[in-house]
Structure 1
Amino acid sequence: MKLKCALVAVLATAAAPALAAGDATKGEVVFNQCQTCHTVADADGKKLAGKGAKIGPNLYGVFGRQAGSLEGFKYGKDLVAAGAAGLVWDEAQFVEYVQNPAAFLKANLNKPNAVAKMAFKLKDAATAEDVYAYLAQFSPAPAAP
Structure 2
Amino acid sequence: MRALAFFAAVSVTIFIAHPSRAQDAAAGEKVFTKCQVCHIANEDKNKIGPSLHGVIGRTAGTHPDFKYSDAMIAAGKSGVKWDEPTLTTYLHDPKAMVKGTKMTFPGLKNDADVANVIAYLKTFSK
What TM-score comes out, normalization by structure 1 length? 0.66
Is the alpha carbon distance of 1:125 and 1:38 closer, same or farther for their aligned partners in structure 2, counting shifts above 3 Å?
A: same
Pairing partner for 1:56 from 49, 56, 60: 49
Q: Residue 131 in 1 paired to residue 117 in 2?
A: yes
CA distance in 1, matches of 2:82, 2:53: 12
Give how far 1:124 is off. Answer: 2.4
| Misfit runs of 4+, over 2 Å | 40-43
Give how far 1:125 is off. Answer: 2.3
| Per-residue Cα deviation, 1:44-102 (whole angstroms, up to 9, x for no partner) | x6xxxxxxx70010001001010000010011111110100101100110011011111
CA distance in 2, matches of 1:72, 1:61: 15
Which residue does 2:91 correspond to in 1? Answer: 98
Q: Could you tell me the percent identity over the aligned residues?
A: 44
Which residue does 1:71 correspond to in 2? Answer: 64
1:96–1:125 CA contact under 8 A, matched in 2: no
Secondary structure in structure 2 of the residue aligned to 1:87:
coil
Greater fraction helix:
2
Give the residue type in structure 1 aligned to 2:112: A
CA distance in 1, matches of 2:95, 2:34: 19
Greater fraction strand:
1
CA distance in 2, matches of 1:80, 1:90: 17
| Per-residue Cα deviation, 1:21-63 (whole angstroms, up to 9, x for no partner) | x8111101001111110012445x6xxxxxxx70010001001
Residue ranges of structure 2 left out of the alignment (5+ in a row): 1-19
CA distance in 1, matches of 2:75, 2:82: 11
Once the two structures are overlaid, the 10-residue window that deviates more, 83-92 or 34-43, is: 34-43
Q: Residue 35 in 1 paired to residue 21 in 2?
A: no
Please tell me the root mean square deviation across aligned C-alpha atoms, in Å.
2.0
Residue ranges of structure 1 left out of the alignment (5+ in a row): 1-18, 46-52, 106-113, 141-145
